Amino acid sequence: MKARAVNKYIRQSAKKMKPMLDMVRGKQVNSAINMLAFMPKKAAKLVELTTRSAVSNLLNSEEGAKVNPDELIIAEAYANQGPVMKRIRPRSMGRAYMIRKRTCHLTIVVATPEIDVENETKEKE
């Protein structure tokens, strides 16, 4: 059983978000949230909130009542680039430099461990 949460238009680049996602991908949800809570990065807080939202989405679904939240793992975690806001910075001699304020879309998918085992056996066949 899977559930996902998407956090869109985050005012941080995907490049800064990806190291946090690499740390939690494939881990159990409880240990991932515990790790992220003590990280001093802005991206860690955003990943933690999105992970909590994905778990809540799973528990609020129809089959979610049967799921034990302690057994959930983070099946997928990725950040895609969002729209870029372009601003102009005045420079000397009448020139202008472009400032790119990047955004990203964060997606977290939580699943029960049985789903991953079934997917791996189907891929090998």
Using the predicted structure, report yes or no on whether residue 65 has a pLDDT greater than 90.
no
The pTM for the full model equals 0.83
30, 73 contact by CB (below 8 A): no
Domain extent, residue 84, equals: 2-124
Number of domains within the chain: 1
pLDDT tens-digit map of 80-106:
999 999 999 999 999 999 999 999 999
pLDDT tens-digit map of 37-51:
999 999 999 999 999
Using the predicted structure, report yes or no on whether residue 13 has a pLDDT greater than 70.
yes
10, 82 contact by CB (below 8 A): yes
DSSP reduced 3-state for 97: strand
pLDDT at 121: 58
Output the domain CATH number for residue 19: 3.90.470.10
